[in-house]
Structure 1
Amino acid sequence: MESIFYESHAGSWFFLILFFVISYFFTKQKITLMLQRLFALIMIITGIGTLFFYNFPLLYILKGVLAIILIAVMEMLVARKKRNEPQGGLWAACIILIIVVLLLGFNVIG
C-alpha cells in the first residue's frame, strides 16, 4: 500500500507541473486548469497517505507545507497571467519552491 501512495504521489507531481505549464501558456484552455487542480488534489491526498506510512517525519511535513505553498503560487501565476498583471516575483518563488520540494522529495536535502 505504501508503494501505491508513493508512486501515485511522484507521478502526480509530473502531471501537476505539466498541466501548470500548459495552463500558463494557453490561458484560454479551461480543461488544463481543471486537470492541474485535479492533480494537485491527488498529490495532496497521496502525500498525506505517504506521511501516515512514514510516521510523519518533520522533513516531509516541511516538504508538504512548501508543496501547498507551491500549488498556491502556481494558481496565482495562472490568474495573474489571465489578468495581465506582473509576475516576476512569483516566478522566482515558483522556481525556487519547485527545486526545494523536489530536492526534499528525492532526499538530496536532509
Structure 2
Amino acid sequence: MNSGGFIQENFSIFQASHEGSWAILAILFLVAYFLFRGGKSKAGTIIHMIARLFFVIMLVTGASMLIAYQFAYFFFIKGILAVLLIGFMEAALGKAKRNENSLGMLFAVLVVLVVIVLMGYGIIRF
C-alpha cells in the first residue's frame, strides 16, 4: 500500500486531528504567553513544551493532508503560513519568557492565525 492510499483512506482522521490540534495549540499558546508575562516561568515552560508537541501533531497531520490534496497551491501557501506562525509563536513565547517586549510578535501571531483560520474555513480563497 502506498502512502497516498493510506492518507486517502484515513483523511477524516487526519483532518479531525489537525483541526483539534489548531484549537488546542491556540489555547496553549495564550496560556503559556500569559503565564510567562505573569512571572510564572516554570508553569509557562511546561505549557510551552506541551504546545511544542501540538506543533508536531499539527505539522504531521497538515503535511498528510497536503499530500492528500496533491500539493495544491492554496494548501501549500497555507502550510507555509502555518510554519511561519509556529516561528512567530516561538519568538513571542521566548521574548515573553525573557521579559522582553513581545507585543509585536503577539500581533504577528494573531494576524497570521486569523489569516490561516480564514483560509481554513474558505473565507479567503485564491
The TM-score range, normalised by the shorter chain, is over 0.9
* 2:93 is the counterpart of 1:78: yes
Could you tell me the TM-score, scaled by structure 2's length? 0.83
User: Which residue among 25, 30, 51 is the counterpart of 1:21?
Assistant: 30
Give 1:45's aligned residue: 60
- How far apart in 2 are the matches of 1:107 and 1:47? 16
- Counting aligned pairs with the same residue, the percent is 38
> For structure 2, which runs of at least 5 residues remain unmatched after alignment?
1-9
Residue 43 (structure 1) shift: 0.1
Q: Runs of 4+ in structure 1 displaced over 4 angstroms?
A: none
- How far apart in 2 are the matches of 1:78 and 1:88? 11
Letter in 2 for 1:82: K
Letter in 2 for 1:78: L
Letter in 2 for 1:47: G
Residue 52 (structure 1) shift: 1.1
Residue 94 (structure 1) shift: 1.1
Which is greater in Rg?
2
Could you tell me the TM-score, scaled by structure 1's length? 0.95
* Cα deviation digits, residues 9-40 of structure 1 (max 9, x gap): 00000111111111111122122111100001
Of 39-48 and 84-93, the range deviating more from structure 2: 84-93
Map 1:61-100; keep pairs closer than 5 Å. Answer: 61-100=76-115
| Alignment length (residue pairs) | 110
CA RMSD of aligned residues (A): 0.9
Residue 88 (structure 1) shift: 2.6
Give 1:58's aligned residue: 73
> For structure 1, which runs of at least 5 residues remain unmatched after alignment?
none
Of 83-92 and 31-40, the range deviating more from structure 2: 83-92
* Cα deviation digits, residues 30-71 of structure 1 (max 9, x gap): 221111000011000000001111111101110110011111
